[in-house]
Amino acid sequence: MISIYLDLVRDALYPKKRGVLTKRNKFLAVAPLREMGAGDIKKLREHLRLSSGMFASVLGVSEKTVEAWESGTNSPSGASLRLMNMLCLYPDILIETRTVYETGNVR
């Protein structure tokens, strides 16, 4: 799945034009971020079956930050919001990229 995006980006940046690479023919746009409320964030985390601590680790934020988002005290922005938007569309990316993986049996 990731290779498809890499191919699209490469083709957009370096389309072939009579055997010469050029950047002038194609353009990329970045989709706007979909805002997420407290309920949306908690629903996503539960859908991914992650604890708030593990979800925080995946996003690179503190567990307190996730708790603040889920209570509605704060709202996510920037990279965290972008990652959550991606996880809504492609939840399997955590497994495919080995961001989250099994380490063994829990006793």
* Average pLDDT taken over every residue of the chain: 85
Please report whether residue 68 resides in a domain.
Answer: yes
Would you place residue 105 in the very low, low, confident or very high pLDDT band (cuts 50, 70, 90)? confident
> Is residue 87 domain-shared with residue 62, that is, in the same domain?
yes
85/49 same-domain check: yes
Average pLDDT of span 70-79: 96
pLDDT of 104 reads 80
Looking at the fold, whether 42 and 65 belong to one and the same domain comes out as: yes
Residue written as token pair 């704060």: 74
Please tell me the total count of domains within the chain: 2
Same domain, yes or no: 81 and 44: yes
> Is this structure's pTM higher than 0.85?
no
Burial 71-90 (b: 16+ CB within 10 A, else e): eeeeebeeebbebbbebeee
Show the domain range for 7: 1-30
Q: Are residues 43 and 25 in the same domain?
A: no
17 phi-psi bin (left φ>0, alpha ψ -120 to 50, beta other): beta
Closest CA relative to residue 65, chosen from 57, 56, 98: 56
Is 60 exceeded by the pLDDT of residue 4?
yes
**pLDDT confidence of 30, banded at 50, 70, 90?**
confident
Give a yes or no: residue 102 inside a domain: no
Q: From 26, 56, 29, 28, select the one nearest 41 (Cα to Cα).
A: 56
Same domain flag for 12 and 46: no
